[in-house]
């Protein structure tokens, strides 16, 4: 698979909550699943973090008690208030000890560990803040607090795996009380004892707290990228990842090479941040659904597995070509004969899937790849069965909580009556794809919700009017019939759609010679640039 997926609202896959559509209600989510490798890694890091900070905190507490017993200033303003500071310090230590013990003794889910990390960090910080602000104002407790929080937050960012944004929010929750306590402390102090304005002290606390948050976020960003880079260059079994060649909402696709075989492959890896229960189930189902299909126009699956740190991946054939979205963006609308030739192949792949009880649900130009295969130019392959629906099953992965699809290619019943989604929904997407290929524009455009509103309310603009020149009447009629709001008014299956394509007699044929000429010209220039990029990446690897 060799393409770059568009990020705009028209072409990007979205998972829309039914509650966003009038008359729809968001159902409950699916049950949780344990991801042992990721859970164990996070568990080990939280235990290491909480253990070291607990031991250091205990050492400081013991040293402070010994110093207080051995030597105490005679001035009352330096005398520690009995109990308050020590109790807060003990509370912080208790939180850290609890984090350590829980991560050592209990087998918690990944989400539970993330909550423990966030809650424990904030609660331990509050204990430290309370302990420091229990001492007299003359000792500048806000500076002592920030001095304690700085290494605490930075060490957590370095040791505990966490996204930069999440690290920033935890840092804000931990440091913000320092600013509030500083303002409250110095505004209560009598003017005669103030060395500085309360606002000066408060702004100083705010600046130092902001620096702590920014530095911890920067550290988290560096470690996060280093871990991702390490994943990108390592081996997955007998496969070595070479370079990234595409990215979608759920996964990233890499060009890979096998240790023994010369066959080029592509590997799709589920994004770590998308490793939720529902996403992993969808990803696994994409492998299972696609591997059952044998059409020459469906991407073939070779292998699949999981890495030791719970990255799910699968291996598929590598298509050295271009997707239809890229082709139209580069060259403009396609000739009608070429559209018919390509969509006939796509219909063949979908016909097999429909016969097996599978509905693709995300047919669009970006998921249709063209290449030269076995000496045949313009050979089409259908990819990404990640949100396919099994008509013979319960479809619990998506039906329970999400309405999947890409707005510009989504059939109206996907929103209005998800239980009516069937082969005719893929026929609608075929019609929307044909509309884009023939005009260079989607049926409806705009933001995601604007597209959905038009999808439910507006009729498509005729192709000839949109394009500004005639389109073969039989082809235009077929495309508009496939875009009918009511599924009963569309061709009833991909087989019927393919038959009506073949019956379009007023369309100049797209010959093999024309296809070969395109690939010798435009196609070869695309492939040469890509090949040079891949060779450079392979040399570096």
Active-site option among 117, 279, 320, 362: 362
Tokens of 129: 């803040």
Cross-strand bridge partners of residue 358: 390
Clarify whether 331 is annotated catalytic.
no
Q: How far apart are CA 69 and CA 65, in angstroms?
A: 6
Tell me which residue of 394, 385, 417 sits closest to 487, measured CA to CA: 417
**Residue given tokens 């303003």 in the structure block:** 77
Q: How far apart are CA 539 and CA 541, in angstroms?
A: 5
Q: How far apart are CA 123 and CA 119, in angstroms?
A: 6
Q: What is the CA radius of gyration of the chain?
A: 30
List helix spans (H) across 313-422. 324-331, 336-355, 396-399, 413-416
Q: Is residue 365 classed exposed, middle or buried when 0-12, 13-18 and 19+ CB atoms within 10 A define those classes?
A: buried
Q: How far apart are CA 382 and CA 6, in angstroms?
A: 17
Cβ–Cβ < 8 Å for 174, 149: yes
Contacts of 83 (CB under 8 A, 6+ apart): none
User: Which long-range contacts (C-beta less than 8 Å, at least 24 apart) are formed by 76-79?
Assistant: 77/136, 77/138, 78/136, 78/138, 78/139
Cβ–Cβ < 8 Å for 455, 415: yes
Q: φ and ψ at 359, to 5 degrees?
A: -110, 125
CA distances from 31 to 28, 34, 43, 287, 503 (A): 9, 10, 21, 21, 49
Tokens of 382: 């259908």
Contacts of 181 (CB under 8 A, 6+ apart): 129, 133, 141, 142, 145
Tell me which residue of 14, 27, 24 sits closest to 405, measured CA to CA: 14
Q: How distant is the alpha carbon of residue 315 from its chain centre? A: 19
CA distances from 400 to 276, 316, 532 (A): 15, 29, 46
Tokens of 241: 């990842």
- Is the sign of the CA dihedral 477, 438, 513, 325 positive or negative? negative
CB atoms closer than 10 angstroms to residue 151: 12
CB atoms closer than 10 angstroms to residue 485: 17
Q: How far apart are CA 27 and CA 73, in angstroms?
A: 65
Q: Which residues are catalytic?
A: 362
């Amino acid at each position: 698979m060799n393409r770059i997926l568009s990020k705009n609202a028209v072409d990007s896959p979205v998972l829309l909550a039914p509650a966003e559509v009038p008359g729809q209600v968001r159902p409950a989510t699916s049950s949780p699943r344990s991801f042992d490798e990721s859970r164990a890694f996070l568990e080990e890091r939280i235990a290491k973090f909480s253990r070291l900070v607990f031991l250091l905190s205990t050492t400081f507490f013991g040293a402070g008690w010994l110093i207080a017993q051995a030597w105490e200033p005679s001035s009352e303003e330096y005398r520690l208030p009995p109990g308050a500071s020590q109790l807060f310090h003990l509370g912080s230590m208790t939180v850290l000890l609890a984090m350590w013990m829980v991560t050592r003794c209990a087998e918690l889910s990944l989400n539970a560990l993330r909550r423990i990390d966030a809650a424990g960090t904030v609660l331990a910080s509050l204990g430290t803040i309370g302990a420091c602000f229990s001492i007299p104002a003359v000792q500048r407790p806000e500076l002592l607090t920030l001095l304690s929080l700085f290494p605490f937050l930075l060490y957590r960012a370095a040791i505990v795996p966490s996204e930069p944004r999440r690290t920033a929010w935890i840092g804000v929750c931990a440091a913000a009380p320092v600013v509030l306590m500083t303002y409250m402390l110095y505004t209560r102090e009598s003017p005669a004892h103030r060395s500085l304005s309360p606002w000066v002290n408060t702004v100083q606390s705010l600046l130092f707290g902001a620096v702590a948050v920014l530095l911890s976020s920067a550290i988290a960003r560096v470690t996060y990228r280093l871990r991702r880079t390490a994943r990108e260059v390592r081996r997955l079994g007998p496969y070595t990842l070479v370079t990234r060649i595409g990215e979608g909402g759920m996964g990233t696709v890499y060009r890979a090479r096998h240790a023994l075989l010369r066959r080029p492959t592509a590997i799709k890896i589920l994004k770590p941040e998308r490793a939720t229960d529902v996403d992993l189930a969808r990803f696994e189902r994409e492998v299972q659904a696609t591997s059952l299909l044998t059409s020459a126009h469906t991407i073939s699956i070779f292998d699949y597995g999981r890495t030791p740190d719970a990255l799910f991946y699968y291996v598929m054939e590598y298509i050295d070509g271009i997707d239809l979205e890229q082709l139209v963006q580069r060259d403009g609308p396609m000739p009608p004969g070429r559209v018919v030739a390509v969509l006939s192949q796509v219909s063949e792949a979908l016909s097999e899937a429909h016969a097996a009880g599978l509905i693709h649900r995300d047919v669009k130009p970006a998921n249709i790849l063209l290449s030269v295969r076995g000496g045949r130019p313009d050979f089409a392959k259908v990819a990404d069965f990640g949100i396919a629906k099994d008509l013979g099953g319960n479809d619990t992965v998506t039906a329970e909580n999400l309405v999947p699809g890409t707005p510009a290619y989504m059939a109206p019943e996907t929103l209005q009556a998800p239980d009516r989604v069937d082969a005719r929904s893929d026929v609608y997407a075929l019609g929307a794809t044909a509309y884009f290929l023939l005009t260079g524009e989607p049926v409806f455009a705009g933001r995601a919700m604007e597209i959905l509103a038009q999808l439910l309310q507006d009729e498509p603009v005729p192709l000839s009017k949109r394009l500004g020149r005639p389109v073969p009447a039989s082809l235009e009629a077929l495309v508009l019939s496939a875009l009918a709001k009511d599924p009963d008014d569309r061709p009833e299956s991909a087989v019927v759609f393919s038959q009506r394509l073949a019956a379009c007699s007023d369309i100049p044929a797209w010959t093999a010679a024309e296809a070969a000429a395109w690939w010798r010209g435009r196609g070869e220039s695309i492939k040469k640039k890509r090949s040079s990029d891949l060779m450079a990446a392979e040399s570096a690897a």
